[in-house]
Amino acid sequence: MASVLLLGAVAVMLHLASISAAQPDHGCKTHCGNVEIPYPFGIGIGCAMDQGFELNCSRSVDGNDKPFLLRREIVSISLSRGQSRALSRIPSYCYNPSTGTMDSKIWEFELSWPYRFSNVDNNFVTIGCNTIGYIYKTNGMTRDATGCVSVCGSPADLTNGSCVGVGCCQNVVPKGLMGYNVYFYDVDYVNKTRETNSWYFNPCSYAGLVETEAFIFSSDYVTTTRFNDTYNGRQPVVLDWVIGNATCEAARTNMSSYACRGGNTVCVDSSNGPGYRCNCSIGYQGNPYLSGGCTDVNECQRSPSPCPESASCENTAGGYQCSCPFGSNFSNETNTCTNRFIGVVIGLSSGIGVLFLASISVLLVQKWKRSTKKRVRKAHFRKNNGLLLEQLNSSDESATHSSKIFSLDELEKATDNFDSTRILGLGAHGTVYKGILSDQRVVAIKKSKMVDQIEIDQFVNELAILSQIHHRNVVKLYGCCLESEVPLLVYEFISSGTLSELLHGDQLSARSLLTWHDRIRIASEAASALAYLHSAAATPIFHRDVKSDNILLTDNFTAKVADFGASRSISIDETCVVTAVQGTFGYLDPEYYHTCQLTEKSDVYSFGVIIAELLTRKQPIFLNSRGEKQNLCYHFVRRLQDNTMMEIVDVQILEEGNDRQISEVAALARACLKHKGEERPTMKEVVHRLQLLRGKMSMKKNHELEVDNEAGPL
């Protein structure tokens, strides 16, 4: 068995060998009539690759040469499709009126190797009324069969062009079909009379394989014999052909028998049975069965040109190249020349461009708004010598910890945008807001009313010095903000209000919250703060606005001097106009009217007024019993001279203190209130005298306690 197969294989190979070397002889006819005959087909021995491809070229009745294969006329041959079109007789089944029987003309169609009926390009068609047409073939072990039923009652049922079962039906062709016999079955056969049967209008039925593309059903194919008359009773049918019986892969193993010749060829396995075909590679054309038969296609000569108009086309082996003018780039996807740069711009702006531009413009507007705001703030900052202060701060390590430049945003946040509910006090020289910083520190933020540039400059300078001063009786300056038009000051928040409020706040109440001891201590503390600033710093700092409003008190009545030097309520100009000092009139150093200058002794004078306030619990400018405005200072000094001072002293003090202490404090006030500055004591001396007094008072108190204790048990 194996040896038989082997022998068979050898025989096949030998056969292949004999054909493979063959190339057509020179002088072989390439045409027969109008039909081109390409190799491997040929007319006569030595012109075809194989017996199967040998054609007869005979003159037909009409006088034209026609190629014949298997006794059938060949209409065309396609190498690239591996197909030939042959004309095939159409089996018919006709009613013979003279005999009253059905005459059938069955044409067998047997193909031989290498041909098969194309299963793709042919259909099995049945034309007629009440007819079953079918083919049935046992091909060795396999059976090939197909068929369909065509029915119709009257000519009116027929639809021209529609082959879907009425007058005409069609079905697919099985793969690898190499021959067929047609069978007809007449549904009406049992009861054929002229009146009842379709043959009355349907003389013939037909069935067979036809080229799908060439066949269009016409309703008169049923009612006349036109279908048989076309092509003289024949119809084109498509035949697939192959080279050899092997696959491409197997065929390539023996190059001498391999039919695909030269370069630029491809081998194609048949989809309709065994065997292969050859084709030229993409970009090449010609005959793949001839050596060097596939030649390059010059795509550039195609009309229209494959390249864009502006580009030049260059033919390449198996292809072409489009070269766009300089600066532009060929895109084979759009088959256009695109300007490299403009392309990018257009691409960007057209695609996400609209979105992009929209968002950009929104961003720009926002940025512009923000930058304008920022610029304004920066301008204020520069105007407010922020840079100077920054420099000061950064040069002093310790200062950076104690004071800080706040941003306007930060303070706006801390004060709820300077909400009116946050106002702690409205003064002649500004508004004070309560604020809570991000670190939960409670602060007082003072918005000054300064607008004059010189004022601001001086303010900033003093601020720089103040920021470096730490005294337990000076309100701590946390920092400032210079981004607003007028500088903002950020102080520690002192909870219990001002000395003025505590002394004069509730005038009707007989007793102030402040005891005699408290008052002396407060005076002493305030004085020490003033003295410290008069002497401690390299350049003395004068408060310039000492008054009970500026002495703040903590929960336990510790004094904190506020607005130190920073708030310059008195505008010192050349004309010495003091209209702006209404609020602090009662404290103003009388020498100022002559010298137009505030000195450290001016602070001492103002402090004298505060002592007088503490003693009398009267405001610097007060209304007397007759409703007249009185200057406390003037009043107090006159009383001292008249020795009637005790009459205006606060009754609470008369109760709590003794005459000697009161007289001593009164004498200190008198010294501070001297008309001539030089006659007044310095702040340091004031502190000294107050501390001495405090010492004596506490000794006295202790002594009194002892006396009480001794007296107690008695």
Ligand X SMILES: *[C@@H]1O[C@H](CO)[C@@H](O)[C@H](O)[C@H]1NC(C)=O
DSSP characters for 270-288? -SSSS-EEEEEPTTEEE-T
With CB under 6 A as the rule, give the number of residues binding ligand X: 43
Please report, as residue ranges, which positions from 17 to 36 form the binding site for ligand X (by CB under 6 A): 17, 20
Nearest approach in angstroms of CB 228 to ligand X is 4
The answer to whether 210 and 169 have CB atoms below 8 angstroms apart is: no
Structure tokens of 25? 């002889």
Please report, as residue ranges, which positions from 37 to 56 form the binding site for ligand X (by CB under 6 A): 56
Whichever of 267 and 443 has its CB closer to ligand X, that residue is 267
Judged by CB under 6 A, does residue 160 bind ligand X? yes
Rule CB under 6 A: choose which of 15, 29, 422, 694 binds ligand X: 15
Helix (H), strand (E) at residue 184:
strand 182-186
Which residues are known binding-site members for ATP? 447
Judged by CB under 6 A, does residue 245 bind ligand X? yes
Which residue lies nearest ligand X, judged by its C-beta? 17
Judged by CB under 6 A, does residue 286 bind ligand X? no
Rule CB under 6 A: choose which of 68, 185, 201, 418 binds ligand X: 68
Rule CB under 6 A: choose which of 7, 172, 282, 352 binds ligand X: 282
Nearest approach in angstroms of CB 315 to ligand X is 16
The answer to whether 120 and 172 have CB atoms below 8 angstroms apart is: no
Helix (H), strand (E) at residue 653:
helix 651-656
Nearest approach in angstroms of CB 412 to ligand X is 52
The answer to whether 294 and 285 have CB atoms below 8 angstroms apart is: yes
Which residues are known binding-site members? 447
Task: Spot the catalytic one: 545, 563, 603, 650.
Answer: 545
Judged by CB under 6 A, does residue 484 bind ligand X? no
Whichever of 264 and 599 has its CB closer to ligand X, that residue is 264
With CB under 6 A as the contact rule, which of the stretches 32-40, 141-149, 212-220, 704-712 interacts with ligand X?
Answer: 212-220
Rule CB under 6 A: choose which of 113, 183, 185, 200 binds ligand X: 113
Nearest approach in angstroms of CB 329 to ligand X is 4
Judged by CB under 6 A, does residue 99 bind ligand X? no
User: What is the DSSP-derived secondary structure letter of residue 649?
Assistant: S
Please report, as residue ranges, which positions from 307 to 336 form the binding site for ligand X (by CB under 6 A): 329-330, 332-333
Report the amino acid identity of residue 429: H
CA angle, 585 then 604 then 502, to 5°:
65
304 prior amide bond cis, ω within 30: yes
Alpha-helical (H) ranges within 384-448 are 386-395, 397-402, 408-414
Nearest approach in angstroms of CB 61 to ligand X is 11
Rounded Cα gap, residues 605 and 602, in angstroms: 5
Tell me the residue length of the chain.
Answer: 714
Annotated catalytic residue 220: no
Whichever of 101 and 232 has its CB closer to ligand X, that residue is 232
Backbone angles phi and psi of 413, in degrees to 5? -70, -40
Judged by CB under 6 A, does residue 417 bind ligand X? no
Judged by CB under 6 A, does residue 624 bind ligand X? no
Ranges of beta strands (E only) in 378-467 are: 404-405, 423-427, 430-436, 442-448
Helix (H), strand (E) at residue 551:
strand 551-553
Rounded Cα gap, residues 43 and 68, in angstroms: 10
Pick the closest to residue 672 from 706, 644, 633, 711 (CA basis): 633
Rule CB under 6 A: choose which of 99, 193, 420, 440 binds ligand X: 193
Rounded Cα gap, residues 684 and 704, in angstroms: 30
Pick the closest to residue 523 from 492, 543, 548, 541 (CA basis): 548
Judged by CB under 6 A, does residue 254 bind ligand X? yes
Nearest approach in angstroms of CB 30 to ligand X is 18
Judged by CB under 6 A, does residue 630 bind ligand X? no
Rounded Cα gap, residues 665 and 640, in angstroms: 12
Nearest approach in angstroms of CB 439 to ligand X is 56
Judged by the rule CB under 6 A, the positions of this chain that interact with ligand X are 12-13, 15-17, 20, 56, 68-71, 80, 92, 94, 113, 160-161, 190-191, 193, 196, 204, 218-220, 225, 228, 232-233, 244-245, 254, 256-257, 268, 279-280, 282, 329-330, 332-333, 340
Residues belonging to the active site = 545
